[in-house]
Amino acid sequence: MKGNVPHCDVTVIGAGPYGLSSAAYLRAAGIETRVFGKPMAFWEEQMPAGMFLRSSWEASHIADPNREVTLDAYRGQCGNHLSAPIPLDRFVSYGRWFQQRLVPHVENRKVTKVETCARRFRVVLADGEAFVSHRIVVAVGIGSFASRPPEFDAIPPALASHSAEHRDFSRFKRQRVAVIGGGQSALESAALLHEGGADVEVIARQQVLNWVGLHSWLHHLGPISRCLYSSRDVGPAFLSRIVSAPRLLRMFPRRFQDRASYRSIRPAGAEWLRDRLSGVPVALGRTVISAKAAESNLRLLLSDGTERLVDHALLATGFRVDMSRYEFFSHEVRSRLQTVNGYPVLTRGLECSVAGLHFLGKPAAWSFGPLLCFVSGTEFASTELVRNIARKDRAR
C-alpha cells in the first residue's frame, strides 16, 4: 500500500466475552491490539430481559490472564447482590465492568471490510478509516447466525420471529404464541411469555425434554465429582472432562468428536425452569411441516396432523454457523476459507486456512469442541490464541 497507512499487530472484531477476554490476554502479553464493537451488545440487545444464565457460577467468569476480574470480584467491589442462576442484566453489567478495567479503549465503530494485503489485512471502518493489521481475531458472537426453519421463510416478521430478535416480550400479552424448540432459549422464553400474560404452547421435535441439573448431588461428592465433571460445566459426567480439554478432544476420531459435541450441547433446559413451566402445555415429538398466514393469524400444521392457529410463532431454533454471513469479509477472503458445514476449519491458535485470521467462540466449535460455545471457553481460547501468536512472532 502506498502512503503512510496506520498499522497494528492484532485487530479484534467483537466486544463480547470472547473479544474482551482475548484483548485482555493480548495486551497483557504486550501485543498491540485494537478492539471494535459495542461491549456486550448481543447479550443486552438480542436476549429477552428477565433471562438467567444456564451456566453455573464457576463457568460464567470471563477469563483474564491474572484471574482477578471475576464475578466474585465484581460482586465484592460493586456491592451488587449476585447469585446463581445469574440474571442476564447483571452479567451484562459484569461484562462492561470487565471491559472498563482491562480493555478500556474499545472502539464502538463498525468494521465494514476485511481484505488481504501483502500477507497482512486491510481493515476498513464504516466512517472511512482504513488501516493495516498483521492479524484479525473474529469474535463477533452468534447474532448473525440465527437459524430460521424453511417452513417460515414466507412468513412476515409480524407473525414469526426468531427469539434473538426480542428484548421485550410484553407485546405478546394476551396473545397466542407457539414457541418452536426444546432448548434453554425456548423453555425460558415460554416461561417469560407465560408470566407476562401470553397464552403459550411449546412445540418440540424431541420425544422428551432434557434437563440440566437434575442430578445436582453428583456435583457434591468431593474428589469423585472432580473426576466426573470439569468446572467448565459443559457436558455430562465423564464426557465433561474430555470436552473441557479441546486439545485432548481433537485426538479422538471425528465421529467421536461429533457425538461428544452433540451430547454436550443437545437441546436442554435448566432444572430451575421446571416449576415456571408447570402451566405451559408442551407438544413433544412434533414438528411444524407448514406455516401459512391466515389474515392476522398464523396457521401451523404439525407432523401429527393437528393444527394450531396462533397470533405469533417464536422461533427458538438456535444458531447455525455460516461464514458467508460475515459481510465484512472480501470475496477473496471468503474464497480462501476452508469450511465444514459452515464452520471454519481451524488449527493451532484457532487460526483458519487464511494465515493470520483467527476465530473465537461458536465458529471454533467444529475444530475445538463444544466448550467454545460457552463463556467458560474464553480461558482456553485466549490462552491458545496468545500462545500461538507469541510463538510465531518469536519465530519471525
Q: Which of 177-191, 215-229, 260-274 has the lowest mean pLDDT?
A: 215-229
Residue 239 placed within a domain: yes
The C-alpha cell at 54 is 444456564
Predicted confidence at residue 225, as pLDDT, reads 73
274 and 323 both lie in a single domain: no
Please name which of 182, 188, 218, 216 lies closest in space to residue 202, comparing C-alpha atoms: 182
Predicted confidence at residue 226, as pLDDT, reads 78
Predicted confidence at residue 220, as pLDDT, reads 65
183 and 73 both lie in a single domain: no
329 sits in which H/E element: none
Q: Look at residues 286, 315, 344 and tell me which one is the last residue of a structural domain.
A: 315
Q: Look at residues 299, 315, 331 and tell me which one is the last residue of a structural domain.
A: 315
- Do residues 152 and 161 lie in contact, with contact meaning Cβ atoms separated by under 8 Å? no
Predicted confidence at residue 391, as pLDDT, reads 83
Looking up cell 465484592 gives: 76
Residue 116's identity, in one-letter code, is: T
* pLDDT category of residue 394 using cuts at 50, 70 and 90: low
Residue 336 placed within a domain: yes
Predicted confidence at residue 90, as pLDDT, reads 94
27 and 94 both lie in a single domain: yes
254 and 385 both lie in a single domain: no
Mean pLDDT of 323-335: 95
Predicted confidence at residue 53, as pLDDT, reads 94
Residue 80 placed within a domain: yes
173 and 121 both lie in a single domain: no
169 and 196 both lie in a single domain: yes
Looking up cell 442462576 gives: 85
> 10 Å Cβ neighbour count for 171?
10
pTM of this structure: 0.94
Residue 242 sits in which domain range? 211-265
Residue 23 placed within a domain: yes
Query: Residue 128 to residues 51, 85, 373: CA-CA distances in angstroms?
Result: 38, 43, 33
204 and 224 both lie in a single domain: no
When comparing pLDDT for 133 and 5, which is higher?
A: 133
Task: Say whether pLDDT at 370 is over 50.
Answer: yes
Mean pLDDT of 353-381: 97
Q: Look at residues 295, 315, 335 and tell me which one is the last residue of a structural domain.
A: 315
- Do residues 387 and 348 lie in contact, with contact meaning Cβ atoms separated by under 8 Å? no
Give the Cα separation of 89 and 169 in Å (integer): 15
Predicted confidence at residue 395, as pLDDT, reads 63
* pLDDT category of residue 78 using cuts at 50, 70 and 90: confident
Give per-residue pLDDT as tens, 107-161.
999 999 999 988 899 999 999 999 999 999 999 999 999 999 999 999 999 999 9
288 and 161 both lie in a single domain: yes
Give the Cα separation of 146 and 311 in Å (integer): 21
Give per-residue pLDDT as tens, 260-289.
999 999 999 999 999 999 999 999 999 999
Predicted confidence at residue 1, as pLDDT, reads 45
166 and 133 both lie in a single domain: no
Residue 126 placed within a domain: yes
Predicted confidence at residue 390, as pLDDT, reads 87
326 and 288 both lie in a single domain: no
Average pLDDT of the chain? 93
Residue 237 placed within a domain: yes
Mean pLDDT of 345-352: 96
Predicted confidence at residue 237, as pLDDT, reads 85
Report the number of distinct structural domains present in the chain.
3
* pLDDT category of residue 242 using cuts at 50, 70 and 90: very high
* pLDDT category of residue 83 using cuts at 50, 70 and 90: confident
68 and 113 both lie in a single domain: yes
55 and 158 both lie in a single domain: no
Please name which of 42, 29, 23 lies closest in space to residue 362, comparing C-alpha atoms: 42
When comparing pLDDT for 396 and 344, which is higher?
A: 344
Mean pLDDT of 18-26: 98
Mean pLDDT of 30-39: 96
Mean pLDDT of 199-207: 97
- Do residues 241 and 228 lie in contact, with contact meaning Cβ atoms separated by under 8 Å? yes
Predicted confidence at residue 152, as pLDDT, reads 97
Residue 2 placed within a domain: no
Task: Say whether pLDDT at 39 is over 80.
Answer: yes
CATH number, domain containing residue 58: 3.50.50.60
Mean pLDDT of 23-32: 96
